[in-house]
Structure formats: C-alpha cells, structure tokens
Amino acid sequence: MLIQIIGIIVLLMALRTLFAQDRSERMLYLNAMTFGIAGIIALYIQTPFGAIIAITYFVASTISSNAIAYSIGRVKNEILLDE
Amino acid sequence: MIIHANVLFTISSYALAVASAVIVGLVLRLPILPERPIRHSWTISIIFPTSVLALGFTAIVFKLGYEGLLVAAVVGVTTAIFAKYLLERILPKPQTEES
Amino acid sequence: MYPFLDLINLTTVSAGVLLIGAAGIIMLKKPLDKVIMFALLQGGFIGMIVSAKYLDVAMVAAIFDPISIVIMLIAISKLDEIRKKKEKSQEEGLIA
Amino acid sequence: MNEIISIVIAAILSWFNFVLIDTWMGLPEKPGVKGADVIGRSVLKRGGDLAGGFFQGNIVCSPDASAGTLLASAACYTIGTPEGGLIAAILVYFGNRLCADPGYAGTTGALTITGIIFAASFIGIGPAYFVVGMVLAIVTIQGINHPLASKLIGKIAEKMGRHTELT
C-alpha cells in the first residue's frame, strides 16, 4: 500500500518532467521525483544499509542538481549548429 | 510507565558523550555560540555542530556493537578534537561568496 | 484490492522512469535539457539495481552520479563559450 | 481505512515541521547559491512570489529541513527510533557542507522529526507513514502548481518576518 502510493507519485512527477515548458520548472519536478525514489528505496530494503544507500543517493543527486542549476544561469540560450 | 535500567543506561551514556565533548571543547577554546545572526554564520562552535556530531558518532559506534560509558567518553573527546582541528580542513568554507 | 495496484512495485516504477528518461534524451533538442533528463534516468537506474538487491553496486553508482554530470556540464559550457565567441568574430568580420 | 488516516496525519505533521523550520532558518531571505537565484527569478517571471521562489530554489540546491525530515524518518524506519535520527542528522550535516550551506536547517529538521516520531509511536503511527507523508508534503510544494505554492510561502514568510528584501 505504501510503496504503491509513492510509485504512482514518482511516475506522475517523471511525466511532468518530460512535458514541462521551462527549464527551471523541470528542475523542481526532478527534485520531487528524487524524494520519491529515496523513500521507495528505504521502504523496499528494510535493513540499515538501505537507509545508507537512500541518504547517499539523495545527497549525490542534490549535488548534481546544484551543478545543473548553476550552469543554467551561466549558459543562457545555447547555439545549435544543425537544426 | 516503567523505565528499564537498559534505557536509563543508554540515555546516561549519550549525556556523558555530550558532556565530555563540551568540556574538551571549552578546554580547547572553541566559542560557545556563533556570532549573530546565527543562521548565516560559518563559525564552528560548541553547541553547533560539536554536540550534534558527538550524538551522531555515539549512535554510530553503539550501533556497531561497542557499548559502555567509557566508549561514550572516548567518542566525545575524539569528536571535540576532530571539530577543532580537522573539520575546517575536510569540509572547507566556500571561497567565493556568490550573490 | 484493485488488480492493477499489484503491478506497481519498485521494478516496474524504475523501468517506467528509465523509459521516460530515454524518451526525453531522444526527443528534447537543447543539450541542458538532455542533461536534466539524464539525471532523471540515473534515478531509475539506481532503483533498478536496488530492486535486484545488488546493494554495493548501487552504492558505487550513486557516488559516481555527480562526477559524470559535472564532466558533461564542463564540456557543454566550454563548447557554448567557443561557439558564441566564433559567432561574434564572424559578425565583426562582416561589418569591417 | 485506518492506514489512510495515519498517512494524512503524518503528512500534516511533516508539512508543518519542514515549512516552519525552513522559514525560521531564513531560506526565503536570500539565495544561498547562484542556482537558487536563477530558479527564484524564473518562478517570479511565471507569476509567483520572489520569497517563495527563493525557498523552492534553496530546497532544490541543498538538502535542507525537507531532506532532514525524509532521511531521518527513513533511517528511523530501518535502523531504530532514536539512533537512526541521530545518524541521519550527522550525514545530512556532511551533505550540507558539501553543497556550500552552513547546515543549521537540515540538522534541526532531522532532530525535531525524531522527537515527533518518538511521540507519535505512542498513538500507533509508525515511521513508515512519515516517509509517505513527507513525499506527499513535498509534492504539494514542488509538484502541483509553483506560483500558488510560492504565494502561500510568501505569506507565511511575511508573517514570520523573514520576507526577502531583494527585488
């Protein structure tokens, strides 16, 4: 019951990430999906190492989100050579 | 509500870890509180993060199987020395303050 | 209670996220959008490894996530600087 | 039926926990890193509030009290009720320092949710419900409608005296 609720939320957030218009809107939906994945890992593996993996995955994905958001501000609109 | 002797023992060992960390931090001359405003300062002080680090390290060591009052005291002393000398070197403050 | 609710577990959710991420990498045009969808795909990948209970492999994959993304971002921003500089020099050449 | 009521109560408790602590620790005041600034301006351009935009950007760019709430309840579920919260607090502190943040909000959120879980276990709400409740709570902030959520956060921040001074 608990895993099913989080699973539906994760799939919904992933679809909204694909069909968003703006680039920073995509970052917010991606963050919500990361919360769901970390929770579902901790609910599926019921040993202490599962919690360690959930914490590691969450912190690592936050670091990569930080890097992506920083370079969104730096690269405003990039040039595409081949249309 | 019945409090078992085990629970009392665990609570007292956590308190001993925090107390030993605070005492060794006072000897090593860490500041007690960060400067105002607290929520934007980067200073390493006794209340934060040394007490929180002592609680966390004590919980990790207890979960690994080593229990007792002496272990808690040793962990507290080690945490204070770690926070004074090693923490700035492992996790440095960011250099460029950007907007 | 419902028959389709039994279908949702960690394996199918991770497979769905992986497919959505792959479709996003193929469909979207800009490079930064592709990097964002790649970050989504890594979530599905780690979920897929965890659902097979290879926990040590999942740990290593989670640690190597931000490293690969940072390397891609360095390449993208450097390429963008070079292209903008080249366009500017071409316009100046046309005017002069 | 009993399960659904437990999930709703846990969601409300964790929502108030992370919103109040994040606002009190000054997340809507200023963007900590540059990426939060970009996300806040984008939310403002789509018709939201600037303080709420900075709040959402700071949640994306570093693990704050929301991450502390989720990870502490997950660790309490798998490791054990008081110890898991303490271990999660120290790991969240290290993650905060890696993301260029002082780390007050994350550890405070982890410690307070440990106390709330310990109190709620007497009325029969386990830590597993708090994991689901935290995911539902973060979806209401980040996943449904960003301008409305940012206006709500802006009102709360103005009431607590933490509204931003930038324009």
- pLDDT, average across residues D27-33: 81
- Classify residue D167: in a domain, yes or no: no
Residue D93 contacts B, CB cutoff 8 Å: yes
Distances from the Cα of D28 to the Cα of A50, A69, D31, D49, D155, angstroms: 33, 18, 7, 10, 11
Residue of C nearest to A2 (CA): C9
Name every residue whose Cβ is closer than 8 Å to that of residue C59 and which is 6 or more positions away in sequence.
Answer: A52, A53, A56
Task: Return the residue matching tokens 């994306």.
Answer: D60
A28 interaction partners in chain D (CB closer than 8 Å): 39, 56, 60, 142-143, 146
- pLDDT, average across residues D63-90: 90
- At residue B98, the pLDDT reads 46
- pLDDT, average across residues A24-38: 91
Task: Return the residue matching tokens 């860490």.
Answer: B30
Q: Which domain holds residue D143?
A: 2-159
In the predicted structure, residue B34 carries a pLDDT above the cut 80: no
User: How far is the alpha carbon of A78 from chain D, nearest alpha carbon, in Å?
Assistant: 16
- At residue C17, the pLDDT reads 93
Structural domains of chain D, count: 1
Distances from the Cα of B86 to the Cα of B89, B90, D24, angstroms: 5, 6, 30
Q: CA D1 to CA D149: how far, in whole Å?
A: 29
**% of chain B residues with pLDDT over 70:** 92
Residue D7 contacts A, CB cutoff 8 Å: yes
Q: Which domain holds residue B66?
A: 43-91
In the predicted structure, residue D80 carries a pLDDT above the cut 80: yes
**B44, HSE (Cβ side, Cα atoms, 13 Å):** 24
- ipTM score for this prediction: 0.91
- Find the CB nearest C13 among A10, A49, A60: A10
- At residue B3, the pLDDT reads 64
Q: CA B18 to CA B80: how far, in whole Å?
A: 10
- Classify residue D33: in a domain, yes or no: yes
| Cβ pair C35, C76 in contact under 8 A | yes
Residue D16 contacts B, CB cutoff 8 Å: no
- Classify residue D166: in a domain, yes or no: no
Give per-residue pLDDT as tens, B62-71: 988 888 889 9
Residue of C nearest to A72 (CA): C32
- Classify residue B32: in a domain, yes or no: no
User: How far is the alpha carbon of A56 from chain C, nearest alpha carbon, in Å?
Assistant: 7
Residue A64 contacts D, CB cutoff 8 Å: no
Query: CB neighbours (10 Å) of residue C55?
Result: 16
Number of alpha helices (DSSP H) and beta strands (DSSP E) in chain B:
4, 0
User: pLDDT class for B1, splitting at 50, 70, 90?
Assistant: low
| Cβ pair D149, D52 in contact under 8 A | yes
Contact at CB, D131 and A42, closer than 8 angstroms: yes
Structural domains of chain B, count: 1
Residue of D nearest to A5 (CA): D132
A29 interaction partners in chain D (CB closer than 8 Å): 142-143
Q: What pTM value is reported for the model?
A: 0.91
- Classify residue B14: in a domain, yes or no: no
- pLDDT, average across residues B20-26: 90
In the predicted structure, residue D35 carries a pLDDT above the cut 90: no
| Cβ pair C40, C22 in contact under 8 A | no
Cα maximum dimension of chain D: 48
Distances from the Cα of B7 to the Cα of A29, B10, B13, C84, angstroms: 43, 5, 10, 66
Number of alpha helices (DSSP H) and beta strands (DSSP E) in chain C:
3, 0
Q: CA D43 to CA A26: how far, in whole Å?
A: 12
Q: CA D28 to CA D153: how far, in whole Å?
A: 8
- At residue D103, the pLDDT reads 83
Task: Return the residue matching tokens 């934007």.
Answer: B40
Q: Which CATH number fits domain C2-95: 1.20.950, 1.10.287, 1.10.10, 1.25.10?
A: 1.10.287
Mutate to test the interface with A, among D5, D61, D93 (most CBs of A within 10 A): D61
Contact at CB, C20 and A50, closer than 8 angstroms: no
User: pLDDT class for A52, splitting at 50, 70, 90?
Assistant: very high
